[in-house]
Structure 1
C-alpha cells in the first residue's frame, strides 16, 4: 500500500539514493536534508520502501511552490508523483500552488495536466534552449 507523509531524517539516505538514480549525482544532498529538517519534504512509500519524494517551499511570491518531484525509475508510472502532488495540495498553507518543468519534460507536463494544473507562463534562459514552463493550481 502506498502512503505519503513528511520525510524524516532516517529517510535521507534512501532519498539521496533515489535522487542519484535520477540525476546521476548526490549534489542535492544538503538541499534534501534541509527540506526534511524544515518539514518541506514529503515521501511516498510503497510499504516501507521510499518510492519518491517532493520538496516544496513558500518562497515564490509567498505561494506554495513545488521545487522538486523525484520518483525512482522503477516506481514511475504507478501514480506516485500524483500522490505527492495531491498530498501537498492538502497541506499547503496558501491558496495557490505553483511548480515548473522544462519544456522537454513531456512526462512531467502530463502529470501536471492530469492533476488539474494549468500553464501559467514560461521562463527563458534557465537551461539554454529548454524553457521552463510554470504550472499553477488554485486550491479549492
Structure 2
C-alpha cells in the first residue's frame, strides 16, 4: 500500500534524511521545515516509510511551481516521482504548473514527459555548463 499525502512536521527528520542522502548534507532542512509548516510539501508513503517528497510554491510569476522532487535512492525507478507530480497536479491552484531540471538529469526529463509536461524554456548560468530546462503542464 502506498499513499501520497501532506507531510507532517513529525516526519521532518525522515524527509531531511532522504534529502541528505541525495545532496550530502542537511542544508535544505530549514527550507523543508518551512514547506511542511506551510503545507507545501507532499510525500509518497509506502510500507517501507517515506519513498519521496515534493515541495511546491504558488509564486512563480503567479503560477504554481514544483521546486523540488526527491526520491529515496532505494525507491527509484518505481514511479514515485511521477506519482508525486500527478498528485500535485490534482491539487495545484493555478491552471499552469511549472518546474525545471538540469539538462543533464535525463531521468527527470523522462518523468516530466511521462506526466504530460512540455519544455517551455531554458535558463543558463545557474549551474555552470548544465542549463536548467523549464517545463510546463497546461491544464486541459
TM range (shorter): over 0.9
Q: Counterparts of 2:2 and 2:119 in 1: how far apart (Å)?
A: 29
* TM-score after normalising by structure 2: 0.98
Paired with 2:32 and 2:111, the residues of 1 have a C-alpha distance of 22
Structure 1 segments of 4+ aligned residues over 4 angstroms from their partners: none
User: Does 2:32 align with 1:10?
Assistant: no
Gapped regions of structure 1 (runs ≥ 5):
none
RMSD: 0.8
In the other structure, the counterpart of 1:76 is 76
TM-score by length of 1: 0.98
Please give the alpha-carbon distance, in whole angstroms, between the structure 2 residues aligned to 1:106 and 1:82: 14
Question: 1:91 maps to what in 2?
Answer: 91
Q: The residue matched to 2:13 in structure 1 has which SS?
A: helix
Unmatched tracts of structure 2, length 5 or more:
none
Confirm or deny that 1:50 pairs with 2:60.
Answer: no
CA distance in 1, matches of 2:22, 2:122: 24
Distance 1:123 1:58 in 2: 20
Q: Distance in 2 between matches of 1:114 and 1:65?
A: 18
Residue of structure 2 equivalent to 1:22: 22
